[in-house]
Structure 1
Amino acid sequence: MSTLFNTFAKLLLAAGLVWMGADLASAADAPAPTGPVKLQGLRGGTPLNQDNAPTAIKQERDHAPADRDFMQQPPLIPHTISGYQITKNFNKCMDCHSFGKAKASGATRVSVTHFKTRDGQELDNISPRRYFCTQCHVPQTDAKPLVENTFQRARGMQ
C-alpha cells in the first residue's frame, strides 16, 4: 500500500512540475519590457523612515464649499490636498485650520468637537481620534456617481 502511495505521489509531483514548466515557457514567450519600469509612489521617492518636508503655501479654494447632504456629515474639503502630509508627527491641515492660524489663512477653524475624547473629556490639542483628517473629510469633486442610486438629501438640508 505504501509503495502505491509513493508512486502516486511521485506521479502527482511530476505532473505538477510539467505543468509549471509549461506555464513558465509561455511566460518566457511574452515580450520583455523595452526599458526599466519606473514607479513613483505618493511620497515622491522619500524613504519610509523619513518625513517629506512641509511646504509653506497658502492653499486657494478649487470650489466653493459644498452644502451637506445629511446631519453630522463631515464637511467636504473645497481644495486639492495633493501632496498633503498627515503623519503622527505632522498634520499639514493644521497649517491653516488650527485655532491660531485659521483667521490669518482665511480657512475654517477646526471644530471644538475635535478636541474631545471619546468620553467627552476636553483636551488642549486635537484628539488623537480626530487627528487624521482624511479619515472623515474628503476633497469635493463633480464626479458622477459610480452606480445608479436614489439618494436624496435629508429633508432638513434641502
Structure 2
Amino acid sequence: MKKRLTIVAFVSFLASIITFNSALADIGGVQSLRGSQELDADNTAESLKRIPRDRETFERDYLHQPPLIPHQIRGYKVDLNSNKCLSCHSWQNYKKAGATKISLTHFETRDGQQLSDVSPRRYFCNQCHVPQADAKPLVDNSFNSVKPLAN
C-alpha cells in the first residue's frame, strides 16, 4: 500500500511538472530581446558598435541630457584610485589637451556646497556620459528630440 502511494505521488508530481512547463511555453506572445533564442543554445556575440572618431559635439535629445562622448573610451580606467577622463577634461588639463572642461556642477555636493575637487557623486563619468555609437535601438519607440529653443 505504501509503495503504491509513493508511485501515485510520483506520477502526480511528474504530471504537475509537465503542466507547468506547457504553461510556460505559452506566455502570451511576449518575447525577450534575445528573440526566440533558447538560453542553452549557442549564440554568437554581436560585433562591436562603431564609435565615430573625434567628432566635435553631438546634438542632445532632451533638456539636461549629459553630453555624449565623441571618442573611444575602451580601456579607460575609472575607479576609486584613478580617473582617465580627468587627465584631459580637468580644469588643470583641458586647454593643453584641447578637450572640453568639466562643468562647475561637477564640483557641487548634493547640498549645493562648492568643493575644490570633483564631487564624489560626479567622479564616475560613465554613469552619465556614454560614447555615441551607431547602435540601433533595442526596441521600437516613438521618441522625438527636443526642439531647439528660439533666441
**What's the TM-score bracket when you normalise by the shorter of the two chains?**
0.5 to 0.7
1:99 is aligned, of 84, 91, 95, to 91
Looking at both structures, which has the greater relative contact order when contacts are Cα pairs under 8 Å and sequence separation is at least 6? 2
Residue 124 in 1 paired to residue 135 in 2? no
Structure 1 residue aligned with 2:148: 156
TM-score, normalized by length of structure 1? 0.60
TM-score, normalized by length of structure 2? 0.63
1:136 is aligned, of 128, 138, 147, to 128
Structure 1 residue aligned with 2:54: 62
SS in 2 for 1:155: coil
Matches within 5 A, 1:71-110: 71-110=63-102
The amino acid of 1:142's aligned partner reads: D
How far apart in 2 are the matches of 1:141 and 1:65? 13
The percent of aligned pairs where both chains have the same amino acid is: 54
State how many pairs are aligned: 108
How far apart in 2 are the matches of 1:157 and 1:137? 23
Matches within 5 A, 1:9-28: none
Q: Structure 1 residues 79, 120: closer, same or farther in 2, change over 3 A? A: same
